[in-house]
């Protein structure tokens, strides 16, 4: 990891690190992470905590030996556990003279631009009050189709929301290996990643019955964070004390994912990863090239077909002839209108859709490329 000024960090801790071997929450682990956050704050580094563990804590309270697999079971157990989890954090923060605040986020809270900004303002205010935000997914009310599903991606979105300098994901392995180290003894640790796409095939699933997503969701988080221009450090929880050297530039021993050179900013972040896309528009080779290589807007002429239904100003995916998603953007026309004007020049489009006088079906300013051009 390179030495640079780190003033604000998002730290995510997974269930695998928070669970006691005998079941329930590991009080030692909570006291350790809180002590490190307190020490970082002493050094002037603002911390936002994204913590899993509600289901693990609920299992401990209810004496359940295995993690529930069905949605209702997970929601009920999480409702029991979240209270226990937050109470333990609050008690530990208090010992260091700090105040924590619980924030439970649902996918829908970040999906609408106004709610996204609202979450941003709340977090901003809490940080100004020197409070440590303690974030988890709102498991209890999340509808399956509208779940983040894993706190890794959630932590990357939060890192973008709060303009973090670094995202730190704490887990139960030393970093990204060439294969899952739990079932491949020849797997080697990778210390630095410059292109997440190049290592995606190395990711396997969760390493324990408590973890969710394993390395797949951590690489998804790395992709989001690095495209936001935020580096991500994947670190073994047992090495958490190494974070105290952050500002001296002595890199902790994990895997460091370098931020992308062309960082997404502002609304382009929301379009790509926070907003929900309602359908897709397929484009021909000429339009795909214009979007990817020439920085152009999407015109009706290059559209071949559509999938799904949407209203004006919703987000849609743009796919090429091979079916790969190349971009996302806020669309100016409804899905049935796009169907009517696909392949047509603008003049013809205006004759058909009389209340629309724009040239672009998706304007470049409202579009984010999903592949590196």
Q: How far is the CB of 171 from ligand VHF (least distance, A)?
A: 8
The partner in contact with residue 172, picked from ligand ADP, ligand VHF, none with C-beta cut-offs of 5 to 8 angstroms by kind, is: ligand ADP
Where do contacts with ligand VHF occur on this chain (CB under 6 A)? 14-16, 52-56, 78, 136-137, 139, 150-151, 211-213
Compute the distance between CA of residue 156 and CA of residue 224 in angstroms, rounded to an integer. 6
Q: Minimum CB separation from ligand ADP for residue 235, in Å?
A: 10
By CB under 6 A, residue 172 contacts ligand ADP: yes
User: Does 319 show up as a binding residue in the annotation?
Assistant: no
Burial class of 284 by CB neighbour count within 10 A (0 to 12, 13 to 18, 19+): middle
Residue (137 or 360) nearer to ligand VHF, CB: 137
> How do beta strands 277-283 and 303-308 pair?
antiparallel
Q: Which does 179 bind (CB under 5 to 8 A by kind): ligand ADP, ligand VHF, none?
A: ligand ADP
Could you say which of 62, 90, 108, 202 contacts ligand ADP (CB under 6 A)? 202
H or E element that contains 123: helix 113-128
Q: Out of ligand ADP, ligand VHF, none, which partner does residue 53 contact, by CB within 5 to 8 A per kind?
A: ligand VHF
The entry of ligand VHF, ligand ADP, none that residue 17 binds, CB within 5 to 8 Å by partner kind: ligand ADP
Site string for ligand ADP, 231-270 (x = CB under 6 A): ----------------------------------------
The answer to whether 173 touches 181, Cβ cutoff 8 Å, is yes
What Rg, from alpha-carbon coordinates, does the chain have? 22
The answer to whether the beta carbons of residues 180 and 207 sit under 8 Å apart is: yes
Identify the residue among 106, 212, 306, 335 touching ligand ADP (CB under 6 A): 212
Which of the choices ligand ADP, ligand VHF, none does residue 207 contact, using the CB cut-off of 5 to 8 A by kind? Answer: ligand ADP
**Cα–Cα distance for residue pair 62/83, rounded to 1 Å:** 13
Backbone torsions φ then ψ of 185, nearest 5 degrees: -70, -15
352: Cα separation from own chain's centroid: 40
Min dist CB 220 to ligand ADP, Å, is 12
Our finding on whether 78 is near ligand ADP (CB under 6 A) is: no
Choice from 17, 82, 153, 297 touching ligand ADP (CB under 6 A)? 17
**Residue 333 near which of ligand ADP, ligand VHF, none (CB within 5-8 Å, type-dependent):** none
State yes or no: 172 annotated in a binding site.
yes
Alpha-carbon distance of 23 to 73, in angstroms, equals 17
d(CA 95, CA 115): 34
Q: Which helix H or strand E contains 223, and what residues bound it? A: helix 214-227
How many of the other CB atoms lie within 10 Å of CB of 7?
13
Q: Annotated binding residues for ATP, as ranges?
A: 12, 171-172, 212-218
């Amino acid at each position: 990891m390179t030495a640079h000024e780190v003033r604000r960090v998002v730290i995510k801790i997974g269930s695998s690190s928070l669970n006691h071997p005998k079941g329930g929450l590991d009080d030692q682990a909570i006291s350790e992470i809180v002590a490190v956050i307190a020490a970082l704050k002493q050094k002037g580094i603002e911390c936002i905590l994204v913590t899993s563990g509600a289901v693990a804590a609920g299992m401990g309270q209810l004496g359940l030996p295995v993690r529930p697999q069905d949605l209702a079971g997970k929601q009920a157990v999480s409702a029991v556990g979240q209270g226990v989890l937050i109470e333990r954090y609050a008690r530990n923060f208090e010992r260091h003279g700090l105040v924590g605040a619980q924030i439970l986020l649902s996918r829908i809270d970040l999906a609408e631009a106004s709610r996204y900004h609202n979450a941003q303002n709340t977090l901003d205010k809490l940080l100004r009050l020197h409070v440590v935000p303690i974030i988890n997914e709102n498991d209890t009310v999340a509808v399956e189709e509208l779940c983040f599903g894993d706190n890794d991606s959630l932590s990357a979105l939060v890192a973008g929301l709060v303009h973090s300098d670094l995202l730190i994901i704490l887990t139960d392995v030393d970093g990204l290996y060439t294969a899952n180290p739990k079932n491949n003894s020849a797997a080697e640790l990778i210390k630095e990643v410059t292109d997440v796409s190049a290592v995606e095939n190395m990711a396997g699933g969760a390493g324990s019955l408590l973890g969710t997503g394993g390395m797949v969701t951590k690489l998804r988080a790395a992709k989001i964070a690095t495209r936001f221009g935020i580096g991500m450090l994947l670190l073994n929880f047992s090495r958490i004390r190494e974070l105290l050297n952050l500002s001296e530039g002595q890199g902790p021993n994990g895997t460091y994912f370098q931020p992308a050179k062309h960082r997404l900013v502002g609304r382009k972040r929301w379009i790509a990863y926070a907003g929900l896309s309602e359908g897709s528009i397929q484009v021909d080779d000429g339009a795909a090239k214009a979007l990817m290589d020439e920085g152009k807007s999407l015109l009706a002429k290059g559209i071949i077909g559509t999938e799904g239904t949407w209203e004006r100003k919703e987000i849609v995916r743009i796919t090429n002839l091979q079916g790969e998603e190349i971009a996302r953007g806020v669309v100016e026309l409804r899905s049935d209108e796009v169907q009517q004007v696909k392949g047509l020049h603008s003049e013809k489009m205006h004759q058909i859709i009389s209340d629309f006088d724009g040239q672009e079906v998706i304007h470049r300013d409202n579009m984010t490329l999903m592949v590196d051009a």
